[in-house]
Structure 1
């Protein structure tokens, strides 16, 4: 167990970070959340505020322009932002965990020196191009290709559901692409191409803008309306051979590591949602009167909120545990899957119950619980569906 497994034993610097982000979420994020959600507008002014606070550089070393913190610090920030606005929280999560972290984990020194200071500053966003139309959970079924030609990669294909990929400050998209084939025995990837071979999948850095790269029109989503999400197309996109990120043929395996880490971050965001719903319900249940008394005096309401609080508490413990294992260098794949499963379901369940507590008002978009109700479903899908988490947990248990 870690010294920070409980909120009661968090070291002072973690507590101060959480308080700082909590104050920012309440004073800066919350007042504009409904407007950005309604207008489907990207919150550039909020992102600039997070950049000024150094949130995009939290887990990166100071030598690369970061804050010298760790992944748990990022998770604490995501939890606080998730309490009030999931779109803002996922913008930070994707920008750090998916946009910059692959460069930090697998980039060479030149790539780190070029990209990490820019991404850590928050002045630019990076995106993570993995998912394709025919392969969501089956990410190894990549069809996007990259072929070498006179010292350059020529990339053709498309990606789907890519966060932070079409903003005015998007400067980098890391994409997985098929760069060849390997024999069945030696391949790292699992998607067969026939003839006893497997796809060799690599990851490549694509600066934005680059000729042939297009962020297609944004999706019309159920939730996360202030988050930037686009399909991407690559039409003979030409980038230097040295833009290969990590070893050739290790792109799929490396991205799986990124997803393992990202599940802890999504769990933290989900805990924020679950706790945010509790906080809103407690406040409302004290103020709203029915039949001559505050509705919180009714056991039906009080017990519902008590169950919501329990879900948030348990979910928080799971992501604290997964983060502690990760930071200590111990295997954390199962713990990350458990955290993501428990926390995303807690967020969805609490959002549904909060809507019920608020009654008709809970169905009005002006209330945070209504936005959480629309936003939370994707938490059970993105960065590995609930079914994927169950598969991983069963596999790690020896089944």
Structure 2
């Protein structure tokens, strides 16, 4: 039977060994590839986030320089008008507050000063007046969504700026103004010799032009389905990747909000902006790469296995089986009285050569014995 065949018994251990080696190599290389893919994803994320952080930092630095210049200009123009004093209570856009006087000139609904500054330095400018714990815009060229001036609106009572102003300190940084990020400067306005209780606020700021940042984020992605996203301080999605498989804003928000177990999600704060920079990719992306690489490695391994088996088969046939088959034929002929054979395998130096020489001696002994027997007859 086939299972008792010498060729099968010789090839099976080789086949088993090769398959074990192929399987082990496939597993080792798959694990190595998985680590490489994860490390590569980490490097991609690091590279993209570092680039974005640098772009945010440069944008903030350049715009803050403009803010400082505009603030100096605003205060210089106000000093030219005259000293600051608190005016009578007024109602501005339905809100009750105190007017501010510069050199005796009321500033409520007076846009001369703020517009003159922005006509030179661009950006936006505002004069706030204190109303209890709030600060109300009494003169501004910050616009609402409908295009009207935002007079009568209050400074965000939960923001970073008002916390510093209440401590009679200035604030420079990025804040949300009516739903849009601005690089801003806020400095307290004092009346008379009291420098501890602000009666208002000087403000200048520039609406952030983040088109370059938006373009960089839009063009970025991680692996096949991952994404880069930027959320503001109110968890509003500002920018996101638009080149990978995950481009639906709702899906991006879901992943960031829920942080599912089948996703790898990293986040870091953008210093000075109050933004969060998110990088995420599904673990299935890594698994797909691992599966493809494992199949490729396994396929190559099977090809190598087939080649090795073919080579082993050829060696076994030429070096073992054919000589044994010829020696077997000689032995069978000897058993029926045929002894005139030329056994070429006798010249071999291995075990088959020893067997061939033994059969050759046996053939010679049988021939001599048969010749003596014939003579005796």
Q: Normalising TM by the smaller chain, what interval?
A: under 0.3
Length-normalised TM-score, structure 2: 0.22
Task: Say which one has the larger Rg.
Answer: 2
Q: Which structure carries more strand by proportion?
A: 2
Length-normalised TM-score, structure 1: 0.21
